Structure 1
Amino acid sequence: MRKAIILIFGITILQLNFACKSQYSVTELNNNFTSEQITDLKKITVFFKNQMCLNKDSDFKTCYERIPHEYFEASGNGFWTDIDFEEQKELYKKISKSTFDKIWSFCNSTENKTEKEKRHLCANAIGEYNNYLFDLGKQNPKIEEYAHWINASGDFNSLQLLYSKISKNKKYFDLNDPNIQLILAIHYLALNDQAKRNEKWIVE
């Protein structure tokens, strides 16, 4: 009996140590999304990672750091423009509308040259995703700063998550953290959508 108690106690301690060392917080996700929506969010991260890694078997951090970010930034074209937009639109079909609507919305924008109104992907500035960012921001000032930008502008801006900013603030952008991976995935997919979507604005 005593050996059994010692064994159980030892296993419990190991599990606690493992949890502390290898797991990242899921509280913020659970507080803002249902289990089905969290599954959708994982699909978004996996899709982005596969596009970034060219479907090769590698971890998120390695793939992200291998990208020649400086080259892309100097050329004025973000690396995200290499993401296949047709496949990205298929991803949208694989996640529920409720998940999509908690993250993104559509706005109309006007082209400077043609003055034509177009359909533009923007952020849901008052949705659960923005609440999720603010929850994470309670422990991470850089994410709090980003959450305030999304909330105030209702949009995604390439300058907000430049590689130079992320590399200089590794303490706040742990690329092994699934929360950071999700934020980057949603951000860069939004920028790719904005760069490639070509639809007329339809008044409903």
Structure 2
Amino acid sequence: MAANQEDVKLLGAVASPFVFRVQLALKLKGVEYTFVAQDLKNKSEELLKYNPIHKKVPVLVHNEKPINESLVIVEYIDEAWKGYPILPTHPYNRALARFWAKFIDDKVFIASWKSVFTADEEEREKNAKEAVEALQVLENEIKGKFFGGEEPGFVDIAASFIAYWSPLIQEIAGLQLFTSEQFPKLYKWSQEFLNHPIAKEILPPRDPLFALFKARYESLHASK
């Protein structure tokens, strides 16, 4: 049965880099969907119904069937709708794309996040060092305009946090982890990504995002 574009909804929060991944995949595929904003401090019955295990966003609901976890959802979108290829066609290249996407989540995202949103200074410094090391590995992996070639693919979608969210939260904390001097190829990639017409169209506005994370940062450090 062909995917039904008329019954697709995304439960999400505008500030979430994981929700953005799903939005970008849907837009690249040209899938029409309804965005259902969620208040994660006051979780809706709908969110608890569709994601009873993790109780978090994003959740893609396609014909009343929920799919959870951002990278799993992106793979589902690629398989369910024809058109723009998100994952490579060759099995080996698909496996590599999955490997690098997981590396980004496990090594880059977690360390970058904890280098800002951790109260313990020693722990923050440890995570900042780990983030730089992980970014250096990615720097050496970029071969072309995007990780996926001439157009954004699975790894680029996974790495979108690095392009937009990472510099923003580092600015809040006064960190200089991801710079054009230290990571010229990765920085160039980030500019290509941020200027891609579809990414540019759906990225959340910077000022409200900055204010949200600044308040979170100040609240964390005020409680020490």
**Is the TM-score greater than 0.5?**
no
Structure-1-length-normalised TM-score: 0.30
Structure having greater relative contact order (Cα 8 Å, sep ≥ 6): 1
Higher-helix-fraction structure: 1
For the pair shown, the structure with the greater C-alpha radius of gyration is 1
